[in-house]
Amino acid sequence: MNADDLLLCGNGDAPRFCGCEELILGEGKDRHRVACPRHHNCRYVHDRNRLIPAASKIATERMRLTADDDTQSRSMKWTRQFSIAMDELARPLLKNGS
């Protein structure tokens, strides 16, 4: 698989573009929209993004810090808890729920 395969929406179909913010790359003058990845689902992205505030709150509540934690370890712990919370919250959005 190459980069072109990831950008095409199907088996050689023409690229498809949508309004999802996650498909805008770069900054300033270099900002540009990329084509949807093969299995991109705009509704799922929208519904998943609505879970971010709740997952953020859960991650903060689940944080277990020690006296030895520096900024980097705190960040890593919070990110791990956020990822776990997003997985849990987004599970019902997936077709098979797994």
Q: Of 3-17, 20-34, 64-78, which one has max mean pLDDT?
A: 20-34
pTM as predicted: 0.69
Q: pLDDT, tens digit, for every residue of 60-97?
A: 999 887 888 888 888 899 999 999 999 999 999 987 65
DSSP one-letter code for 8? S
More confident residue, 94 or 58: 58
**Both 18 and 34 in a single domain?**
yes
Is pLDDT of 25 > 90?
Answer: yes
* Number of domains the chain contains: 2
**Both 63 and 94 in a single domain?**
yes
Of the candidates 40, 34, 39, the one whose C-alpha atom is nearest the C-alpha of residue 17 is 34
**Both 46 and 83 in a single domain?**
yes
Is pLDDT of 48 > 90?
Answer: yes
- Domain of 95? 41-98
**Both 63 and 93 in a single domain?**
yes
